[in-house]
Structure 1
Amino acid sequence: MEGLSRFLLLAAMGVLLACCAGGSGPSACRPGELNSVYLVDRGWHTEIGVPVAALSGKLAVYREIFPGARTILFGYGKKTFFTAPASSLEEYLIGPFPGPAVVQVFAMTTTPDLAYDPDAVVVLPVSREGMGRLSDFIGDDLETGRDGRPRLVAAGHGPESLFYAARSRYTLFHTCNGWVVQALREAGLPVSADGVVFAGQVMARGARAAAMLCRKTAP
């Protein structure tokens, strides 16, 4: 039992720390807004920001849900942790176990690079086709209700934040940071998913990808 308890504690700490590491600074070049996605360090996990005008497929509904929004941040996490943060050691210990997941949708009236500390945001250039694949990836993971729209499960801490049921399940091998890397890769970005655990890993890989892509597009 002592060994199992130690494993569970380390696993819980790993998942929490996975979303705590800092960013790696902004990218050196700035693509046009409609050709940009934003990798954002939100303190305890990473999220991906998409310009509202670039949303397509199932995600186009968010132009109606959040009129006036300029960017939508999408984040992934275990339902019980994401919608009601843990407040005791016991809750942290059971946190890493598999369970239903949600996608948080957070509307912004600006872009993340203007709203957050520069070290917490990486701007990445994405093609129009990549934007379409990114929207499809996120949209396909949103469970839909009888009305065909994403199924709302909880409100966030303000009217700009909503939680929607995810089709996939949260596990130790499918976490918030792994989901973000999957999304970036679907967009055609050269971000490796190997061994992704910590938020800092995602931010560092995103920064390297941005630097590489900027060099390729430099005159």
Structure 2
Amino acid sequence: MTPARRLPLAAAIAVAFLLAGCATPAARAAPPVTFIDVVERDWHTDVCIRTVDADAQLLRVTVGYEGSNYLCFGFGDRHYLMSGERGPMTLLSALLPGEGVLLLTILRDTPAAAFGKDNVVRLDVDAAGIQRLRAFLNRSVQTNASGAPVSLGDGPYTGGLYFGATARYAGFYTCNTWTADALREAGIPILGPVLFAEGIMRQIRDVTETAP
């Protein structure tokens, strides 16, 4: 698993300068056809979809890992996650705009079994929502001149793979901001801006508690 690290004090200070704003959540009137899982890993969040809900374009990131049941996507700072450096300067540099990375976790078991059921929230998604989420995930994967996903090698644990991300990481666009964008595409009502995992998890737990 990715080592858990709390954001430095400088990140908390930076939040104080964030301009207030809210995103209008998409209404979900259609019946659900599938579900997604949101995983909390201390300060970080992942979005997991069933492999059967991925399209051919998205499945290109799973070559060599056939037989999976879930694909979990997380966004982060490329230098921080891939360098292995965890000093204060590396943490502070993550507040500045820099290249992003996607960490794909390929699972045969459920996200709840892999990460602990208390760390996972399952959300129903309708047909339009899963289609928009697929499109968002495909847009998030950086591709080369021939259109192939930009692979950056193995992740920090078995079943983990790094890919280049089209989004850039910064103090005001974190892994959790990216997760919030993904959930909005899926039709989940997430108000923003969101920087921390708690802001994601609190809102989606409210969604599951108020669902009919």
After TM superposition, the score normalised by the length of structure 1 is: 0.78
2:193 — aligned with what? 195
Number of equivalent positions: 189
SS at match of 2:57: helix
1:19 — aligned with what? none
Structure 1 unpaired stretches of 5+ = 1-8, 16-32
2:107 — aligned with what? 108
2-structure distance, mates of 1:166, 1:131:
20
Moved over 3 A (4+): 12-15, 62-65
Partners of 1:57 and 1:139 within 8 A in 2: no
Q: How much identity, in percent, do the aligned residues show?
A: 28
Render the CA deviation track for 1:2-52: whole Å, top value 9, x for unaligned: xxxxxxx6334679xxxxxxxxxxxxxxxxx97110000123300000000
Partners of 1:38 and 1:123 within 8 A in 2: yes
* Offset at residue 94 of structure 1 (A): 1.7
Partners of 2:94 and 2:170 within 8 A in 1: no
Q: Which amino acid aligns with 1:212?
A: T
Partners of 1:83 and 1:154 within 8 A in 2: no
* Offset at residue 98 of structure 1 (A): 0.9
2:129 — aligned with what? 130
Q: Which amino acid aligns with 1:173?
A: F
SS at match of 1:49: strand
Render the CA deviation track for 1:157-213: whole Å, top value 9, x for unaligned: 244111111112112221100000100000111122x23121111111111112223
TM-aligned CA distance change 1:141 to 1:51, over 3 Å: same
SS at match of 1:126: strand
Counterpart selection for 2:208 from 195, 200, 210: 210
Partners of 2:43 and 2:196 within 8 A in 1: no
TM-aligned CA distance change 1:91 to 1:142, over 3 Å: same
SS at match of 1:210: helix
Q: Which amino acid aligns with 1:127?
A: D
Q: Which amino acid aligns with 1:165?
A: G
* Offset at residue 78 of structure 1 (A): 0.8
SS at match of 1:35: strand
Partners of 2:33 and 2:124 within 8 A in 1: no
Equivalent residue runs for 1:146-185 within 5 Å: 146-185=145-184
Matched, 1:186 2:203: no
The structure that is helix-richer by fraction is 1
* Offset at residue 60 of structure 1 (A): 2.7
Render the CA deviation track for 1:122-163: whole Å, top value 9, x for unaligned: 000011221111010011121112342211023212441111
2-structure distance, mates of 1:147, 1:85:
30
SS at match of 1:124: strand
Greater shift in the superposed pair: 61-70 or 126-135 = 61-70
After TM superposition, the score normalised by the length of structure 2 is: 0.81
TM-aligned CA distance change 1:88 to 1:37, over 3 Å: same
TM-aligned CA distance change 1:118 to 1:159, over 3 Å: closer
1:86 — aligned with what? 85
The structure that is strand-richer by fraction is 2
1:145 — aligned with what? 144
Greater shift in the superposed pair: 85-94 or 195-204 = 85-94
Q: Which amino acid aligns with 2:206?
A: R
Partners of 1:177 and 1:202 within 8 A in 2: yes
